[in-house]
A and B are shown apart, each in its own frame.
Chain A
């Protein structure tokens, strides 16, 4: 495959014009935090909905000096992450890493690494559903108007109805938040645990939705406020009394795992790169 790619395809797969167009959409997104910038999403050799938005951002940003990390649900070795990383690598020959501190670009699905993003790093999130108002309004034409008029009453009502019905806001991952006091946006299905990392962050967060053809951004030092009520404040996932079975961590996002033999429920860090780097984790054979 290496041979075929080098012979037939441009550096970073896409042609230069396409990459420039995507960078321009990203620049506009940075200028208007949380605003969904439309772009002509290209077909890629992976499935729509499998990270093509993130991949297009990565491909158009990446250059010779870059070092790429790709994670899926916190995991570097997850099949989709491996597949995406391999594709970028074969068409660019850039270096890759599993250490989020070594990476200049991190493409991710469903997690933000535990270690804070630095200002020289870009986190690219793959986004399945960019439109937060889709929960209350199926028509794109209509949601665009609602954003323009900052008419967010329907989504607030939805949260209120959740509380009336379930006693809680039932949105788990992909919890909607307000960017720079202007646009409500979906943070991609990261757990609520990761959402506070976007607020006043040092690094740049780019969101790419390939199937839905939109790019948006949370630039550094932007206010990001999860939607919540004064008496029903925003809550992250609960892991009280749980610790990672490998590194003992109690302050990271944990995966629930079932032991094959005993059927017992155990916990393990979802950010595998970070888990491996922790002193207690280093001795583990995982």
Chain B
């Protein structure tokens, strides 16, 4: 059977599905455990939750397993699953200032109140392939790490919370962004994004944007195709409590758990306010899990969209409509669908135009020869 077999329908689809499962499993003698993916592929899980717009580590792990590790496919699975869930509540505003911090750094000030906390990071790990991982024994490795860390259980129970670094500047009147307004956020999952977008719509689109796309755009702004090259006032990673208004009494709140977040506040070049004061502008990034590059990229892009200019990153539509991994992947991959009709139509136009153009050429040549004679 030839290529027309794409129309073969059900049997072809089923075979294709079975083949992907065959390829997923054929070279192993055991199936990946979802909990291993959830706990040992932390960075991937964080990315998938962020881009999928659903904070559910276990489901993200299932999605990763099902997608054979493709983050875009996994985020897609999460988004599609989330479509099946009712929107029951909006949480109260999360206060990252009160988060249980596991990592916190400032590139603006050497000594910040509370100190810099490196926490878990690959930033200062030399990128040398660790061949020992081939035969890693879980228990031995864990014991070795615990020995190195010499963790004092007493110390572990201390809840680390810190004042925001940018508050230092705010107290001195050196930061110029307008005060945040308490209002019900724009909900991207329930409303169409229109332009100009509100600030909450912008932040939401950025927060679930694709890490790689956002990094590339933010990099372009840093490198010269843009105007934003900030200093990181503070980057913090930690667990923030989430609460909703108590359904039977709006004044009470109900704690529903905590989630890991990365928050970045960047300090940008200064600007002249209406009242004549010259102040720094802050850029803001907040993403699910530990995803620092994306959070920084978000802060850059957010601030870039606030500045006027001609570079791509200063164009709201350009940035917000193109960073979504589900939309971008879907449309680029749709090219694999049959385009027989549209292509036939184009082919026809080409043939017609070609005929006309060749006749014209023939006529021109004849006229030319006629003149010559």
> Quick check: is A150 within 8 A (CB to CB) of the other chain?
no
> Quick check: is A257 within 8 A (CB to CB) of the other chain?
yes
Given contacts A257-B109, A263-B113, contact A45 B128 (CB under 8 A): yes
Given contacts A45-B128, A79-B118, contact A134 B223 (CB under 8 A): yes
Q: Which of B123, B270, B278, B311 contacts A138 (CB 8 A)?
A: B311
> Quick check: is A164 within 8 A (CB to CB) of the other chain?
no
The DSSP consensus for interface residues of chain B is loop
Q: Considering the complex, give the chain B residue whose CB is closest to the CB of A44.
A: B127
Q: Which of B109, B118, B128 contacts A5 (CB 8 A)?
A: B128
**Taking the nearest CB of chain A, how far is it from the CB of B176, in angstroms?**
15
Given contacts A257-B109, A258-B112, A260-B114, contact A80 B124 (CB under 8 A): yes
> Quick check: is A241 within 8 A (CB to CB) of the other chain?
no
Q: Which of A1, A135, A255, A260 contacts B128 (CB 8 A)?
A: A1
A129 to B269, CA, bound (A): 17
> Quick check: is B126 within 8 A (CB to CB) of the other chain?
yes
Q: Which of B109, B126, B131 contacts A256 (CB 8 A)?
A: B109
* Residues B126 and A46 in contact, CB atoms below 8 Å apart: yes
* Residues B168 and A45 in contact, CB atoms below 8 Å apart: no
A258 to B224, CA, bound (A): 33
Chain B residue contacts of A47, Cβ below 8 A? 123, 127
* Residues A258 and B124 in contact, CB atoms below 8 Å apart: no
Chain A residue contacts of B118, Cβ below 8 A? 79
A50 to B124, CA, bound (A): 10
> Quick check: is A186 within 8 A (CB to CB) of the other chain?
no
> Quick check: is B110 within 8 A (CB to CB) of the other chain?
yes
**Taking the nearest CB of chain B, how far is it from the CB of A59, in angstroms?**
13
* Residues B225 and A257 in contact, CB atoms below 8 Å apart: no
* Residues A260 and B126 in contact, CB atoms below 8 Å apart: no
Q: Considering the complex, give the chain A residue whose CB is closest to the CB of B229.
A: A129
Given contacts A4-B128, A47-B123, A80-B124, contact A258 B111 (CB under 8 A): yes
Q: Which of A45, A135, A257 contacts B126 (CB 8 A)?
A: A45
Chain A residue contacts of B131, Cβ below 8 A? 4
* Residues B126 and A87 in contact, CB atoms below 8 Å apart: yes
Chain B residue contacts of A138, Cβ below 8 A? 223-225, 311
A260 to B162, CA, bound (A): 11
**Taking the nearest CB of chain B, how far is it from the CB of A253, in angstroms?**
12
* Residues B127 and A46 in contact, CB atoms below 8 Å apart: yes
For A135, A256, A258, A263, the residue with the greatest tally of chain B CB atoms inside 10 Å of its CB is A258
* Residues B123 and A258 in contact, CB atoms below 8 Å apart: no
**Taking the nearest CB of chain B, how far is it from the CB of A109, in angstroms?**
12
* Residues B127 and A257 in contact, CB atoms below 8 Å apart: no
* Residues B124 and A257 in contact, CB atoms below 8 Å apart: no
A93 to B70, CA, bound (A): 42
> Quick check: is A108 within 8 A (CB to CB) of the other chain?
no
* Residues A258 and B168 in contact, CB atoms below 8 Å apart: yes
**Taking the nearest CB of chain B, how far is it from the CB of A254, in angstroms?**
11
Interface residues on B, range: 20 to 34
For B111, B115, B118, the residue with the greatest tally of chain A CB atoms inside 10 Å of its CB is B111
A79 to B103, CA, bound (A): 14
A260 to B116, CA, bound (A): 12
**Taking the nearest CB of chain A, how far is it from the CB of B303, in angstroms?**
17
> Quick check: is A284 within 8 A (CB to CB) of the other chain?
no
> Quick check: is A73 within 8 A (CB to CB) of the other chain?
yes
> Quick check: is A10 within 8 A (CB to CB) of the other chain?
no
* Residues A257 and B111 in contact, CB atoms below 8 Å apart: yes
Q: Which of A73, A79, A135, A137 contacts B124 (CB 8 A)?
A: A79
Instruction: Give the contacts of B298-313 with A (CB-CB under 8 A).
Output: 311
A134 to B131, CA, bound (A): 41
Q: Considering the complex, give the chain A residue whose CB is closest to the CB of B128.
A: A45
**Taking the nearest CB of chain A, how far is it from the CB of B110, in angstroms?**
5
For B113, B114, B124, B311, the residue with the greatest tally of chain A CB atoms inside 10 Å of its CB is B124
Q: Considering the complex, give the chain A residue whose CB is closest to the CB of B227.
A: A135
* Residues B311 and A83 in contact, CB atoms below 8 Å apart: no
* Residues A258 and B113 in contact, CB atoms below 8 Å apart: yes
Q: Considering the complex, give the chain A residue whose CB is closest to the CB of B270.
A: A170
Instruction: Give the contacts of B207-262 with A (CB-CB under 8 A).
Output: 223-225
* Residues A73 and B110 in contact, CB atoms below 8 Å apart: yes
A256 to B124, CA, bound (A): 25
* Residues B113 and A83 in contact, CB atoms below 8 Å apart: no
Chain B residue contacts of A166, Cβ below 8 A? 278
A135 to B113, CA, bound (A): 34
* Residues B110 and A45 in contact, CB atoms below 8 Å apart: no
Q: Considering the complex, give the chain A residue whose CB is closest to the CB of B163.
A: A263
A254 to B311, CA, bound (A): 36
Chain B residue contacts of A256, Cβ below 8 A? 109
* Residues B128 and A258 in contact, CB atoms below 8 Å apart: no
**Taking the nearest CB of chain B, how far is it from the CB of A260, in angstroms?**
5
* Residues B124 and A83 in contact, CB atoms below 8 Å apart: yes
Contacts A82-B124, A83-B126 known; list 20 others, CB within 8 Å: A4-B128, A44-B127, A45-B126, A45-B127, A45-B128, A46-B127, A47-B123, A79-B123, A79-B124, A83-B124, A129-B223, A134-B224, A138-B223, A166-B278, A255-B110, A257-B109, A257-B111, A258-B109, A258-B113, A263-B168
For the complex of A and B, 8 pairs with smallest distance between CB atoms: A138-B224, A45-B127, A45-B126, A83-B124, A134-B224, A257-B111, A138-B225, A260-B113
Interfacial residues, chain A to chain B (CB-CB below 8 A): 1, 4-5, 44-47, 50, 73, 75, 79-80, 82-83, 86-87, 129, 131, 134-135, 137-138, 166, 170, 255-258, 260, 263
Ordered by A's residue number, 15 sampled pairs between the chains whose C-beta atoms are within 8 Å are A1-B128, A4-B131, A44-B127, A46-B127, A79-B123, A80-B124, A82-B124, A87-B126, A134-B224, A138-B223, A256-B109, A258-B109, A258-B112, A260-B111, A260-B114
